[in-house]
């Protein structure tokens, strides 16, 4: 009887990374429990950083679901800044400075969040 209990106990030792269930989304945030484990988010809290956006919404908009200072843009822009850009001038082919501007949804957006895509910027100024 003691040997059986010991063998059963050893058989239940499952590596932590294998314990997640890809078919389960405990907090109903759009990310399965394995994705949450990979991201380091809480599988039992829909909004791990408590910024008002679910972890799944932040993953979709390329925002960090563990950083409450970084949230999805209201207009739906993706946060595509790779974190490796360095301004090197203002000529054709250069990386320009990371300008900030207000978009039509009244969010302050960073220019570098539009990295890797073509966009038309329309800026006006009045004095």
Closest CA to 36 of 65, 16, 15: 65
At residue 18, the pLDDT reads 55
Beta-carbon contacts of 86 under 8 Å, excluding residues fewer than 6 positions away, are: 95
Q: What is the mean pLDDT of each run of 10 residues along the chain (127 residues)?
A: 40 51 93 94 95 93 90 88 92 91 91 88 81
* Contact of 88 with 95, CB cutoff 8 Å: yes
At residue 126, the pLDDT reads 87
Domain parsing of the chain, residue ranges? 20-70, 73-127
Buried b (16+ CB within 10 A) or exposed e, 12-45: eeeeeeeebeeeebebebebbbbbbbebebbbee
* pTM tops 0.75, yes or no: no
At residue 7, the pLDDT reads 39
């Amino acid at each position: 009887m003691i040997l059986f209990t010991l063998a059963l106990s050893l058989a239940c030792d499952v590596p932590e990374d294998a314990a997640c269930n890809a078919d389960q989304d405990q907090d109903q945030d759009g990310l399965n429990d394995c994705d949450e484990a990979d991201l380091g988010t809480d599988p039992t809290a829909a909004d791990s950083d408590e910024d008002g956006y679910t972890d799944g919404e932040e993953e979709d908009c390329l925002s960090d679901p563990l950083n409450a200072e970084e949230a999805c843009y209201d207009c739906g822009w993706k946060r595509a800044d790779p974190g490796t850009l360095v301004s090197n001038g203002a000529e054709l082919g250069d990386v320009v400075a990371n300008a900030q501007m207000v978009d039509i949804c009244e969010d302050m957006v960073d220019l570098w969040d539009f990295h890797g895509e073509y966009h038309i910027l329309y800026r006006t100024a009045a004095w």
